[in-house]
Amino acid sequence: MRIIDRFHPQRRRELQTALDAGLVLLRGEVSLLEPPLLYPLTLLSFLLLLIGLAGFGALAVLVLSWRSLHGWSVGRADLVHLLVWLAVSSVVYLVLLPLHELLHGLVFRFWGGRPYYGMRLPVALYCGARHQLFWRNQYLTVGLAPCLVLSLLLALLMWCWPAVAPYLVLAGAGHLSGCAGDLLAIWLLLRYPSRLCIEDTETGFRVWEIFPLLLDSDSVTRTN
């Protein structure tokens, strides 16, 4: 494994030396896709779906009520509108999936990491960073970025172009629901001190503590 810290090269070198020397302790390992976290993850995903439907739906109603639009009105619905709405919403949701993973990857790269991308059929995309250790707070930004950026972007699009608002409600709620794993990981990581390092895994993460001071003390002893 290698330490990732683009903005503190001296500290990165010291920690890498300690890591290579084996001065590291595994403080925790989490798999979000296995019991006992699979049930709360599913529940959180459902709750986020409801929150997304309520939040984006309320915003859509607000902008449609505020601006009178030809072809759309609050309370109007027919089969054609419903089918078009479902089709466009599905397309928007599918577009959000790679954007979500791309944002993970961009933040990984911002800190100096090397992300990789993959796909699990039918439409489960993922982004990871094998054999790389990030500071806890760096890893938190990786997890939070897609949820925050894409949710704000959808809300901004709905506000600026009300004509697209109805098509973004379901897609936005679906994307927010899909952020459950990221948000659960963030909540779990907040229990650990910020000095610890996080290793990304395909199903969760590992938490490591590195002891560079022990290496320095040993070096001083050998020198004397």
pLDDT given for residue 66 in this prediction: 79
Beta carbons within 8 Å of 4's beta carbon, 6+ residues apart: 12, 111, 112, 113, 129, 132, 133, 134, 138
Collapsed DSSP state (helix, strand, coil) of residue 44 = helix
What is the per-residue pLDDT for 68? 56
pLDDT for the residue numbered 31 = 95
Q: 24 - beta bridge partners?
A: 210
Read off the pTM: 0.88
**Is 108 in contact with 138 (CB distance < 8 Å)?**
no
Q: Where are the alpha helices (DSSP H) in 69-164?
A: 79-110, 136-160
* Phi–psi pair at 68, nearest 5 degrees: -75, 125
pLDDT computed for residue 47 by the predictor = 98
Q: Is 6 left (phi over 0), alpha (psi -120 to 50) or beta?
A: alpha
Q: DSSP of 55-91, one letter per residue?
A: HHHHHHHHHHHHS-BTTB-TT---HHHHHHHHHHHHH
What tokens were used for 167?
């098509």
What's the pLDDT score for residue 77? Answer: 54
- Which own/partner pairs from 118-124 qualify as long-range (CB within 8 Å, at least 24 positions apart)? 123/94, 123/97
Contact 216, 17 (CB under 8 A): no
Nearest to 30 by CA among 223, 176, 207: 207
Q: What is the pLDDT of residue 123?
A: 64
Walk along the chain (224 residues) in steps of 10 and give the mean pLDDT of each run: 95 94 96 92 97 95 73 56 88 96 97 93 83 97 98 95 92 96 97 96 95 56 34
Structure tokens at 15: 């920690």
DSSP letter for each residue of 163-196: GGHHHHHHHHHHHHHHTHHHHHHHHHHTTS-TTS
What pLDDT score does 70 carry? 46
pLDDT for residue 83: 86
